[in-house]
Structure 1
Amino acid sequence: MGQKVHPKGLRIGIIKDWDVKWFAKKGYAKNVYEDYKIRKYLKDNLRHAGISCIEIERIADRVRITINCSRPGIVIGRKGAEVAKLKGKLAKFIKGDLQIKIIEVKVPELDAQLVAENIAEQLQRKGSVKRAMKQAAGRSMRIGAEGIKISCSGRIGGAEIARTEWHLEGRLPLHTLRADIDYGLAESNTTYGKIGVKVWIFRGEVLPSKDKLKEKNSQEQRTEALASEDIKKLTLSIIARIFLGKISTILPFFPLSSPLITNTLSPFLKLILLLIKSLFLPLIYTTSEASDIIFIKFLSLNSRATAPNILVPTGSF
């Protein structure tokens, strides 16, 4: 279903992040409505700034708005005059401290939202749909995109029956979660009605960095080392309980450990029972010297957890 779902929504938490970052138990609806008003106001008043994405973050009584745009000079103005005006107007319907941050989109040809809005503007000026799609796709591929798909739906060319025209270049792996696919949607208000423009841009695969791989490997090694130490301690406890309680099954030992340790020990617990009951129990009950020590050595059936030499003093039983 990769073709049906929103590419960003499918990848949130994997390679994408939320555009809105806040949590509220009370006043949730009020915050959502405020976010809607913020986005609508910015989109309507900064149409020529090339806004790609608006991120809203709420921390206590502060509201931080990050505007990603291709023409930051229009938003900032001379000596920050436009930002000050914008902040004053937004403060009318936002309570608390307001912060505005402007980030420039350096390569607008690889931003799906900006490409979609550019095509929508051309269609509004009665440009050719196929020419607009082909030119936009060619620019994106030359800049470095690995694939692009553009779809235009509506009464194209004033036709009475609406249809969909699309153009595809390169590859577009929508099912691959590590694929960095940007998606944009825009509407063109023509004299015949609205024409919807959708753009998908594949910008390459996002692979974990070397630092993250090293951190993951070191974490796995620490986990295995801790599990090995727990197995050693648990093995001593198990053997002591076998001697003291004369236990003949392995079921009582499962609650002693975590699932990881239980799964590691379970294959050779029966071997421990067999060795102790058949070989060493007669020696324990016949010896009389408290200083005698029986050395029990067994091999693990699991290559990750090789059991050590275990010293069992006979005087304690």
Structure 2
Amino acid sequence: MGQKVHPIGFRLGNTKSHLSTWFAENQNYSNYLFEDYYLRKKLYQNYESAGFEKIEIFRKTENQLTMMISVEEPTILVGLNAQNLKNFQQEIRQIVQKYRKQHLPLKTPSKIQVTLHIFGCFNMSASSMADFLIEFLEKRYSFRSALNGLLKKKLKKKPPGLKIQISGRLNGAEMARQIWIREGRLPLQTLQAHIDYSSKQAQTIYGLLGVKVWVFHHLHDYH
């Protein structure tokens, strides 16, 4: 049987880097890990329409947090000319403090320093494509309408390669099945290939639908 390898994990250390970068002692490692997960989850929930590509988190100390956010619509996060930047920083600070208050009640609360770097991305990420499809599917559009809406209306410029897979009880069918489409090339076994990947779930009245998106952007040139 063929064994599937996660496209991003396969390229870590080569063309991909970890989204969380910090060192921790044994007793703090799991705390930092779950805190990062909670922070990303809250931002994805609060700003679904922003079109996140990735959220990188760096820590110098326990209370010094640096975040590099790549997003399609930066104005949704910080407003025009970054006029809401301080409010967004404060929101992140409150999310972290809330998590620590709930899960680390014995620790003495202290001031958290948050540094933000926000970048606009021109190419539509696999994550935002998956979010677009999920929004359509949860509004009870057919999967074909969702795919057509993405390919014909949402995508301003098609990438060199793209694959989309949706699985589950499609259109309320009794039996679960899987459909997929592919356009262009998708060199998954080439380490130099810049592959963006996202796997998410859509909650519909018929149950969960799995949505997976692979996007090939370009080949990395090491010379």
SS in 2 for 1:7: coil
Say whether the 8 Å CA contact 2:52–2:70 is kept in structure 1.
yes
For the residue of structure 1 that corresponds to 2:134, the secondary structure is helix
Higher-Rg structure is 1
Cα–Cα, structure 1 residues 204 and 135, in superposed 2: closer, same or farther, change >3 Å? farther
Normalised TM-score (structure 1): 0.60
Contact 1:2/1:175 (8 A) holds in 2: no
Q: Using the aligned pairs only, state the percent identity.
A: 35
Report deviation, 1:5.
Answer: 1.0
Task: After superposing the two structures, state which structure 1 stretch, 83-92 or 99-108, moved more.
Answer: 83-92
CA distance in 1, matches of 2:31, 2:196: 29
> Structure 2: how far apart are the matches of 1:207 and 1:139?
32
Q: Distance between the aligned counterparts of 2:3 and 2:221, measured in 1?
A: 22
Pairing 1:125–2:124 present: no
Q: Which residue of 1 aligns with 2:194?
A: 180
Judged with a 3 Å threshold, the aligned counterparts in structure 2 of structure 1 residues 10 and 2 are, in CA distance, closer, same or farther, namely farther
1:67 aligns with 2:69: yes
User: Quick check: 1:2–1:174 contact (8 Å CA) kept in 2?
Assistant: no
**Is the CA contact 2:35–2:96 (under 8 Å) kept in the aligned structure 1?**
no
CA distance in 2, matches of 1:21, 1:55: 8
TM-score, length of structure 2 as denominator length: 0.83
Root mean square deviation, CA, Å:
2.4
Match of 2:95 among 84, 90, 93: 90
Q: Cα offset for 1:29?
A: 1.3
Rounded to whole Å, the distance in 1 between the matches of 2:156 and 2:41 is: 33
Which runs of no fewer than 5 residues in structure 1 stay unpaired? 214-317
- Between the aligned partners of 1:200 and 1:103, the Cα distance in structure 2 is 22
Amino acid at match of 2:67: I
State the AA in 1 paired with 2:13: G
Give the distance between the partners of 2:187 and 2:153, measured in 1 at CA.
20
- Change over 3 Å in CA distance of 1:164–1:137 after alignment to 2: same
188, 210, 216: which is aligned to 1:196? 210
Higher RCO, Cα 8 Å, sep 6+: 2
Is the Cα contact below 8 Å between 2:203 and 2:209 reproduced in 1?
yes
Seen in structure 2, the aligned counterparts of structure 1 residues 175 and 84 have a Cα distance that, compared at 3 Å, is: closer
Deviation of the 1:137 alpha carbon: 4.1
